[in-house]
Amino acid sequence: MKQIFFDAPRTFRGGIHPPDFKKFTEGNPIRMYMDPQEDLVFPMVQHIGAPCKPVVKKGDECLRGQVIGEAQGWVSSPIHSSVSGRVKDVKPMLHPNGSKVMSVIIENDHAYREVDGLHQSHDYRHMSKEEILTVIQEAGVVGMGGAGFPAHVKLSPPAEKVIDSIIVNGAESEPYLSSDFRLLIEEPSKVVEGLKIVLHMFPNAKGYIAIEDNKPTALAVMRNLTVEEERIQVVPLKTKYPQGGEKQLIDAVLGREVPSGGLPADVGCIVHNADTIVAIYRAILEGRPLMRRVITLAGGALSHSVTFKARLGTSIRELIQAAGGLVCPPSKIICGGPMMGTALFSLDVPVTKGTAGLLVFDQKEDHILRENACIRCGKCISACPIHLMPFMLNQFALEMDWDSFEKYHGMDCIECGSCAYICPAKRHLTQTFKAGKRMIQEKRRKAAAEKGGSHA
The distance of closest approach from Cβ of residue 341 to ligand SF4 in the complex, given in angstroms and rounded to an integer, is 13
The distance of closest approach from Cβ of residue 269 to ligand SF4 in the complex, given in angstroms and rounded to an integer, is 19
**For ligand SF4, which stretch binds (CB under 6 A), given 63-71, 113-121, 357-365, 417-425?**
417-425
- Residue closer to ligand SF4 (CB basis): 201 or 252: 252
Nearest to 289 by CA among 126, 151, 445, 91: 151
Q: How far is CA 75 from the centre of its chain?
A: 16
Burial class (CB in 10 A: 0-12, 13-18, 19+), 88: middle
Phi-psi domain of 255 (left: phi exceeds 0; alpha: psi -120 through 50; beta: other): left
Single-letter code of the amino acid located at 350:
P
Counting contacts by CB under 6 A, is residue 340 touching ligand SF4?
Answer: no
The distance of closest approach from Cβ of residue 295 to ligand SF4 in the complex, given in angstroms and rounded to an integer, is 24
Containing 237, the helix (H) or strand (E) segment is strand 232-237
| Single residue of 169, 276, 418, 432 touching ligand SF4 by CB under 6 A | 418
- Residue closer to ligand SF4 (CB basis): 176 or 396: 396
The distance of closest approach from Cβ of residue 423 to ligand SF4 in the complex, given in angstroms and rounded to an integer, is 3
3-state secondary structure of 218: helix
Q: Collect all residues with Cβ–Cβ distance below 8 Å to 374 and sequence separation of at least 6.
A: 391, 394, 395, 425, 427
| Single residue of 30, 155, 297, 425 touching ligand SF4 by CB under 6 A | 425
Q: How many helices (H) and strands (E) does the chain have?
A: 13, 17
Query: Which residues in 370-399 contact ligand SF4 (CB under 6 A)?
Result: 374-380, 383-384, 386, 388, 390-391
The distance of closest approach from Cβ of residue 9 to ligand SF4 in the complex, given in angstroms and rounded to an integer, is 21
- Residue closer to ligand SF4 (CB basis): 277 or 339: 339
Quote the strand ranges of 286-393, DSSP E.
292-298, 306-311, 332-335, 342-344, 357-361
Q: Report the C-alpha gap between 43 and 93 in whole angstroms.
A: 7
Nearest to 219 by CA among 272, 181, 273, 252: 181
Alpha helices in 71-187 (DSSP H): 129-138, 151-154, 179-186
Nearest to 242 by CA among 185, 304, 174: 174
Nearest to 155 by CA among 140, 146, 166, 170: 166
**For ligand SF4, which stretch binds (CB under 6 A), given 224-232, 319-327, 347-355, 429-437?**
429-437
**For ligand SF4, which stretch binds (CB under 6 A), given 96-104, 105-113, 349-357, 368-376?**
368-376
The distance of closest approach from Cβ of residue 430 to ligand SF4 in the complex, given in angstroms and rounded to an integer, is 5
Containing 383, the helix (H) or strand (E) segment is helix 379-383
The distance of closest approach from Cβ of residue 72 to ligand SF4 in the complex, given in angstroms and rounded to an integer, is 31
Between the alpha carbon of residue 125 and those of residues 79, 122, 196, 197, 285, the distances in Å are: 27, 9, 10, 8, 11
The distance of closest approach from Cβ of residue 144 to ligand SF4 in the complex, given in angstroms and rounded to an integer, is 21
The distance of closest approach from Cβ of residue 13 to ligand SF4 in the complex, given in angstroms and rounded to an integer, is 12
- Residue closer to ligand SF4 (CB basis): 201 or 383: 383
Counting contacts by CB under 6 A, is residue 423 touching ligand SF4?
Answer: yes
Nearest to 239 by CA among 12, 7, 6: 12
- Residue closer to ligand SF4 (CB basis): 308 or 405: 405
- Residue closer to ligand SF4 (CB basis): 32 or 377: 377
Q: Report the C-alpha gap between 300 and 450 in whole angstroms.
A: 50
For ligand SF4 (CB under 6 A), the number of binding residues is 28
The distance of closest approach from Cβ of residue 25 to ligand SF4 in the complex, given in angstroms and rounded to an integer, is 24
Counting contacts by CB under 6 A, is residue 432 touching ligand SF4?
Answer: no
Q: How far is CA 161 from the centre of its chain?
A: 24
- Residue closer to ligand SF4 (CB basis): 16 or 210: 16
Task: List contacts with ligand SF4 (CB under 6 A).
Answer: 374-380, 383-384, 386, 388, 390-391, 413-419, 422-425, 427, 429-430, 433
